[in-house]
Structure 1
Amino acid sequence: MGGSAVDDYCVIPSYTFAPRTLVLVGCTGNGKSATGNTILQRKVFHSKTQSSGVTQTCELHSAVLKDGQILNVIDTPGLFDCSVRTEITGKEIAKCINMAKDGIHAVLVVLSVKTRFSEGEEQVINSLKILFGNKLTDYMIIVFTGGDDLDYDEKTLEDYLGQNCPKPLQKLLHQCEDRRVVFDNRTRDQNKKDEQLQELLSLVNLVVVKNGGKPFKDELFVEWKVIP
């Protein structure tokens, strides 16, 4: 993990350095907003610990990295959050699609190592496939939050996944071709922050190259994008 997605001796396509649009999805409480802040390297998304979801409307924020790479990150409402009505969530997802003017380059499914993969998370993935089609898995990257808990227990992500990993999660990882990364959103170690961000961006580049530089846009995506 963390290695270059493209061979050092290959001619790197021009789209490798084009702006990226990343969408954060997942259940309430898994740390989507905190992950977005870590990616953008500043606090722009509202994130705090509470029983109900903090994010109830889609938000987009951008950043220019040190190498000039432009990142657009869209945070989404907590799917299956009981405090958000279904029709509101549907409208916000449509709003999210409209925000992604040039398409979606990677979908970051945020899970937490603090909890086992639940039926709710499985429903989120299934709902996303229904909304966007099975092709969506070609753009998915799994982000596991709670890296500080793993460090505290002196465990790795491999240890966590090896402990009776639920079959639905195994299936998801297989569909994503094992594209996964662990984030510690609480760390104050800048080197660690840089390392985990680079690991994620390496996977994003892998997704972009795998899809020929074409962002995610299927028929339903185009149809929803024109919703006023």
Structure 2
Amino acid sequence: MGSFFSRVQDRSNVTKDRQLVAANMSCWAHGLHCIRRQHTDEAKTGRHTGTTVNFVLLGAAGTGKSASGNTILGKKHFISRPSSKPVTTKCQNGQTKINDLHVRVIDTPDIFDDEIGSSVRNKHMNRCKELCESGPCVYVLVMHVSRFTDGERDIMEKLEEDFGSEVSGQTIILFTRGNDLQQAGIGLEDFLHSCQPDLKKMVEKCGNRCVLFENNKSGSDQVEKLMEKVNTILEDQKNL
């Protein structure tokens, strides 16, 4: 009798898995970034164990996108070094697993640079979107905590033009050079409270989802804080 019920349960799980795959494929085929909740363990933990989530690192050259990508991956995968010219010249990606979540980190050149030609920019954009086709995306806007440039003031408008008007709901602002604030005796909340009005508007538009990274620091605490923000975005997407 136990064997019979085991076979029935196995067939039931297979059916559920097939339905889940079909539902995810349907979502992505229509360009929707969503995750279907899996049963049992995932329902209890809130973790999306069967899906690869894309972390798209965006921002100006020199802000620390590649170094932040390496911190997230937990290894030196992307080339990151001091330079007077951009080091990252094409979209690259690396994969890891964080808290049972499959993560693809996509490092990008400065696609918002007004000095690059439209054909080069479109090439970067198309490659970035190709890499994101296989799953939901979280956009990580990387900025230097001690520097807010004129070119970054309208970066959210450019993001909306390229990725859609709802991109702010999928964006986390990652401030690098966290040690600068520590040396000044300032916390992230105090920094955000007193920052420039344009930056404050940007932060508010992204739902106040901000994290502070010090890429020369070892340890996973800062990545865990990033994942907390990521999970809120994924949960919101499931409830759309």
Is TM-score (shorter-chain normalized) higher than 0.5?
Answer: yes
Q: 2:110 aligns with which of 58, 67, 78?
A: 78
Give me the whole-angstrom Cα distance separating, in 2, the residues matched to 1:175 and 1:16. 29
Q: Are residue 180 (structure 1) and residue 210 (structure 2) matched?
A: yes
Query: 1:161: which partner in 2?
Result: 192
Query: 2:77: which partner in 1?
Result: 44
Give me the whole-angstrom Cα distance separating, in 2, the residues matched to 1:201 and 1:17. 16
Deviation at 1:82, TM superposition (A): 6.7
Does the 8 Å CA contact 2:47/2:100 hold for their aligned counterparts? no
Gaps of 5+ in 2: 1-42
Give me the whole-angstrom Cα distance separating, in 1, the residues matched to 2:74 and 2:145. 22
Q: Which moved more, 1:117-126 or 1:147-156?
A: 117-126
Deviation at 1:212, TM superposition (A): 0.9
Q: Percent identity?
A: 31
Q: Give the secondary-structure state (helix, strand or coil) at the position aligned to 1:34.
A: helix
TM-score for both structures, normalised by structure 2: 0.76
Alignment of 1:67-146 (within 5 A): 67-81=99-113, 84-115=116-147, 117-146=148-177
Q: Are residue 171 (structure 1) and residue 201 (structure 2) matched?
A: yes
Does the 8 Å CA contact 1:143/1:181 hold for their aligned counterparts? yes
Q: 2:232 aligns with which of 199, 206, 209?
A: 206
Does the 8 Å CA contact 1:16/1:208 hold for their aligned counterparts? no
Query: 2:21: which partner in 1?
Result: none
Q: Give the secondary-structure state (helix, strand or coil) at the position aligned to 1:134.
A: coil
Give me the whole-angstrom Cα distance separating, in 2, the residues matched to 1:86 and 1:166. 30
Q: Give the secondary-structure state (helix, strand or coil) at the position aligned to 1:210.
A: helix
Deviation at 1:103, TM superposition (A): 3.8
Q: Is the radius of gyration larger for structure 1 or structure 2?
A: 2
Q: 1:24 aligns with which of 54, 57, 60?
A: 57
Give me the whole-angstrom Cα distance separating, in 2, the residues matched to 1:132 and 1:21. 14
Q: Which has the higher helix share?
A: 2
Deviation at 1:133, TM superposition (A): 1.8
Does the 8 Å CA contact 2:173/2:210 hold for their aligned counterparts? yes
- Residue 36 of structure 1 aligns with an amino acid whose one-letter code is G
- Residue 145 of structure 2 aligns with an amino acid whose one-letter code is V
Q: 1:33 aligns with which of 66, 87, 91?
A: 66
Does the 8 Å CA contact 1:141/1:176 hold for their aligned counterparts? yes
Give me the whole-angstrom Cα distance separating, in 1, the residues matched to 2:74 and 2:179. 18
Please report the RMSD computed on the Cα atoms of aligned residues, expressed in angstroms. 2.1
Q: Deviations over 1:78-127 (max 9, x none)?
A: 13447743321221111011011224421000011121x22211233211
- Residue 95 of structure 1 aligns with an amino acid whose one-letter code is R
Which structure is richer in relative contact order (CA contacts within 8 A, separation 6 or more)?
1
Does the 8 Å CA contact 2:176/2:215 hold for their aligned counterparts? yes
- Residue 61 of structure 1 aligns with an amino acid whose one-letter code is G
Does the 8 Å CA contact 1:150/1:157 hold for their aligned counterparts? yes
Give me the whole-angstrom Cα distance separating, in 2, the residues matched to 1:154 and 1:108. 26
Query: 2:180: which partner in 1?
Result: 149
Gaps of 5+ in 1: 1-9, 215-228
Aligned residues: 198
